[in-house]
Amino acid sequence: MERLLIRGARVIDPSCGYDRSADILIENSAIAALGEMDAADAAVLDAAGWIAAPGLVDLHVHLRDPGQTQKEDLLSGCRAAAAGGVTSLFCMPNTTPALDDPALIADLSARATSASARVYPVAAATKGLRGETLTDFAALKAAGAAAFSDDGRPVLTADLMERALKAAAVVGLPLFAHSEELTLTRGGLMNEGAVSEELGVPGVTRAAEEVGTAREIALCAATGCPVHICHVSTRGSVEMIRAAQAAGVPVTGETAPHYIALTDECLRSLDADYRMSPPLRTSDDREAVIEGLLDGTLSAIATDHAPHTPAEKAEFAKAPNGAIGMETSLAVCLTTLVHTGRWDLLSLLRAMSTAPAALAGIPAGTLQVGAPADIVLFDQQEEWTVDPDRLHGKSKNTPFKGMTLKGRVKATILGGKIVYRAEG
């Protein structure tokens, strides 16, 4: 039997409110015991001074596999995940070809068995993400799909979205909505507001996202079928979701670390690494997003890890949208939310592990005895500066480059095996 003893960490498990100094004994691939113990025959990982928590669950990742592997691939993306403490991730279907076919889902799942994170494929909701015909939800689920989305873009019409919500509910998997009214996007490159006007750069109005959010909520209310709103970035979206939840509508929401930490002021650099969809918004939107996390309106933090090559990101106006995020997400959230005193550590860890696991219905986000031994170990106090050249994925398009963050992942354990250890 393989045994690993993690010794002396502060163990925080949001699934049961556990927060105390303890050892964790792992046998084979599962958590066998928590408490003070000696296990003479076990390998020992000294974790004194570190925090041990359930491995992070990231609901929104672009692995770019198949077909865009110059940006990222299944294995490089999972190395980036491990370096960020992410042990379960949901990968989006806007690949080449799109993940709209059961054979593609099965192939991805088979290749993922050797990766350093658990990969949950999100299948396309419509064939080729074209917004014309629904995919076969039951067959995709049988092949290993864990959710449905046309992410990268919205499900094109309200009629199709309504049918997608019903089909997802029938098979019991979540529908992840990229909320955007494409006729309002109009080629904008950043948030439309004072900064875009000053710069003379075409902007995207908040209404592009909010019309989409309103559509998804209306369809969710009309059908009673759950919907999950991805990457919420505006005050209006947060307020609509909050009001709908209060009325009993089964809508959930997530936001991303860049909407918590950054604003459209970053775009003054005209650096395409700060361009994403939806775009970085104003400080008022950022404040609303944080309030949405604090009061539970937004239950999950997901990265929208979106790798693009340096060549693709070279020219501000021509670059594709998206930023990488898995290796920095915990540190950014610790720095912005916990070290500022705005949020407690247990609640942050819940939003990054237990809550997204529950939302997506996967066995993760807990350290209870018998659970898979997926664990992140981090030093809450260690400071480090983000150097794109030292990250573990293939691409370098991080909007946190050069920032000094407080809190660093020291080791990541997946199914009882150490899949990442920080240098030094």
Catalytic residue set: 304
Least gap, CB of 93 to Zn ion (angstroms): 11
54 preceded by cis ω (within 30°)?
no
Site string for Zn ion, 255-274 (x = CB under 5 A): --------------------
Nearer to Zn ion, 79 or 178 (CB): 178
279 CB-near residues (< 8 Å, 6+ apart): 188, 189, 190, 191, 203, 204, 233, 264, 267, 321
Task: Calculate ∠ Cα 219-222-223, nearest 5°.
Answer: 85
Nearer to Zn ion, 52 or 306 (CB): 306
Least gap, CB of 276 to Zn ion (angstroms): 9
Instruction: Using CB positions, name the residue nearest to Zn ion.
Output: 178
| Alpha-carbon gap, residue 262 to 307, rounded angstroms | 18
- Decide: 129 and 67 in contact? Cβ < 8 Å: no
Least gap, CB of 92 to Zn ion (angstroms): 7
User: Interaction with Zn ion in 172-191: which residues (CB under 5 A)?
Assistant: 178
Answer for which of 72, 151, 162, 192 binds Zn ion (CB under 5 A) is 151
Residue 305 touching Zn ion (CB under 5 A): no
Nearer to Zn ion, 58 or 151 (CB): 151
How many residues appear in the chain?
424
Least gap, CB of 306 to Zn ion (angstroms): 8
Nearer to Zn ion, 152 or 416 (CB): 152
Task: Calculate ∠ Cα 190-193-195, nearest 5°.
Answer: 75
Burial of residue 191, with CB atoms counted within 10 A of its CB: 0-12 exposed, 13-18 middle, 19 or more buried: buried
Element (H, E) at 48: none
| Alpha-carbon gap, residue 27 to 42, rounded angstroms | 9
Among 96-104, 148-156, 183-191, 405-413, the segment contacting Zn ion (CB under 5 A):
148-156
User: Interaction with Zn ion in 182-241: which residues (CB under 5 A)?
Assistant: none
CA atoms within 13 Å, Cβ hemisphere of 111: 16
Q: Residues binding Zn ion: what is the number (CB under 5 A)?
A: 2
Nearer to Zn ion, 29 or 205 (CB): 205
Which residues of the shown chain bind Zn ion in the complex (CB under 5 A)? 151, 178
